[in-house]
Amino acid sequence: MSSTEQGTSSAAPAEPTTAPESAAAPEVPESFYYVHGKDKVVHKVSAGALQHSALIHGMISNLGYTEEQAKANPFPFENIDGDILQMVVDWCNQHKGKPTPPEDTNLPKQKEKLFDLVLAVNYLEIKELLTYCCKQVAMMVKGKSPEEIREIWMIPTDAEDEAAEKEAKKRAGKEAAGETAAAAGDAK
Amino acid sequence: MKLSKYPLLVQNEILHNMKYTDLFLMSFVSKKIKELIKSSQALRFQSINRIVYGFSVNGLPVVYVPCPGGRIVTFVKQWDKKGFQLNISEKLIDFGILESSYCPVAFLAPSDQESIIRSLHDYFLDFFGNTVEYCWNTKYNPDQEELFIPQLGNLTACSIQNEGGYGQSLKKSAAFFDKAPVVTGQ
């Protein structure tokens, strides 16, 4: 993946309007980290962009990797599909160091992609993106009848809930009986 | 997309981003879902000071939380589009969805309006919690025989918009409040 970090201008302004001490402050080189998903494709992401993810930010702070160590040890996210991780990385890059807007219209429209994105974002603890995604999921049922909501979010009926509960009780009873029988066998 | 596959925190965040009207309709999907909404949105519901029975800008009776996007349900006396029935507090009520605002409309049969409103109101008391106060706004018109103000639980305020015949409306409202001492006139 090509790094999409925004370039920072190194040229000093002709007539600085900021305080002299801030203009004289040395620029700290940006550090980069590497992540990969299920598809093992490695993405290079700046520490600034990764700040959106509380999980990765915590990992970075705790590990204290050098650039070489970071390159040699990409963070593996085997539970996230490659295309979903790409979306997350793109979002983090786009919103690096910027205040997040109240709406985000670039989220996937397909239900299954959005579903996977929500799970990934929740796992990576990217609060703002999670809020956008949840808003979009909530919009899916705007102005829908209860039956339509049930279909969209695959919610079981009361009868199905009751049957599942009975089944779970039955299974738990069988497992408990099996354990008792096994314990009795061991005692013999 | 299966809602139950999401962690509870995510489910809560989704519900938190839904309007009252959508939560109201969703609560009819199943008993479990109703309980999930009530428990996850308890703080949000507790912050509702009042629910108003009033009128929309186009004059239709409407129930709303006084906040932007707070409309819960609109009442209509005629509905010839596609609809659905909901069993609300043991009463079957016909509903539809207004395409312009995505808001549910309840068909209010003139002969049965008091029992329909009472059933809906009982449902609101259970769903939003009994700490919410209710306000009944009505219009008085001298051609009307009676002022229609149903006696509902937690109804703490009432406003009567006068459309002529001020003395008549005062007399009728005074007679109403005399009969219903639990309702406070404002």
Q: In the structure encoding, which two tokens stand for residue A143, read together? A: 């102005």
* Structural domain spans, chain A: 30-140, 145-180
Residues across chain A: 188
Residue B15 · residue B4 · CB < 8 Å: no
Q: How far is CA A137 from CA A100, A101, B11, B105, B167, in A?
A: 19, 18, 10, 23, 53
User: pTM value?
Assistant: 0.80
Interface test with A, best of B2, B4, B13, B40 (most A CBs within 10 A): B13
Dihedral of CA B58/B64/B70/B72: which sign? negative
Binning pLDDT at 50, 70 and 90, where does residue A153 land?
Answer: very high
pLDDT averaged over every residue in chain B: 85
Query: Per residue in A26-73, pLDDT tens?
Result: 666 778 899 999 999 999 999 889 989 999 988 888 888 887 888 888
Q: In the structure encoding, which two tokens stand for residue B134, read together? A: 């209710």
Mean pLDDT of B16-20: 96
Residue B166 · residue B130 · CB < 8 Å: no
pLDDT of residue B170: 65
Q: Looking at per-residue confidence, does B39 or A181 come out higher?
A: B39
What is residue A179's DSSP assignment? H
Give, for B156, the enclosing helix (H) or strand (E).
strand B155-162
Distance (Å, whole) CA A151 – CA A146: 9
Question: For the domain A30-140, what is the CATH code?
Answer: 3.30.710.10
Mean pLDDT: which of A4-13, A157-166, B103-112, B150-159 is highest? A157-166
Asked if pLDDT for residue B172 goes beyond 70, the answer is: no
The residues, ordered by sequence, that sit 6+ positions from A114 with a Cβ below 8 Å of its Cβ are A107, A108, A133, A136, A137, B1
Shortest distance, CA B36 to any CA of chain A (angstroms): 12
Mean pLDDT: which of A167-181, B5-19, B71-85, B150-164 is highest? B5-19
Binning pLDDT at 50, 70 and 90, where does residue B169 land?
Answer: low
Dihedral of CA A100/A104/A107/A111: which sign? positive
Residue A163 at interface with chain B, using a CB cutoff of 8 Å: no
Burial of B121 (0-12, 13-18, 19+ CB in 10 A): buried
pLDDT of residue B159: 76
CB nearest to A153's CB, from B2, B32, B99: B2
Tokens 């979009």 sit on residue: A136
Instruction: Provide ipTM, 2 decimals.
Output: 0.85
Q: Determine the longest span between alpha carbons in chain B, in angstroms.
A: 61
Give the β-pairing of B50-55 and B83-88. Answer: unpaired
Nearest CA in chain A to B100: A143
pLDDT of residue B99: 86
Query: Per residue in A60-107, pLDDT tens?
Result: 888 888 878 888 889 999 999 999 999 999 999 988 887 777 676 678
Asked if pLDDT for residue B153 goes beyond 90, the answer is: no
Query: Per residue in B99-125, pLDDT tens?
Result: 888 999 999 888 888 899 999 999 999
Contacts of B3 in chain A (CB under 8 A): 153-155
Nearest CA in chain B to A134: B14
Beta-bridge mates of residue A42: A36
Mean pLDDT of A103-116: 84
CB nearest to B97's CB, from A140, A145, A154: A145
**A146·B25 Cβ contact <8 A:** yes
Residue B81 at interface with chain A, using a CB cutoff of 8 Å: no
Binning pLDDT at 50, 70 and 90, where does residue B143 land?
Answer: low
Shortest distance, CA A13 to any CA of chain B (angstroms): 44
pLDDT of residue A97: 80
Contacts of A126 in chain B (CB under 8 A): none
Dihedral of CA B33/B39/B40/B41: which sign? positive
pLDDT of residue A64: 80
CB nearest to A146's CB, from B1, B29, B101: B29
Binning pLDDT at 50, 70 and 90, where does residue A17 land?
Answer: very low
Mean pLDDT of A126-139: 94
Asked if pLDDT for residue B49 goes beyond 50, the answer is: yes
Q: In the structure encoding, which two tokens stand for residue A90, read together? A: 């793109």
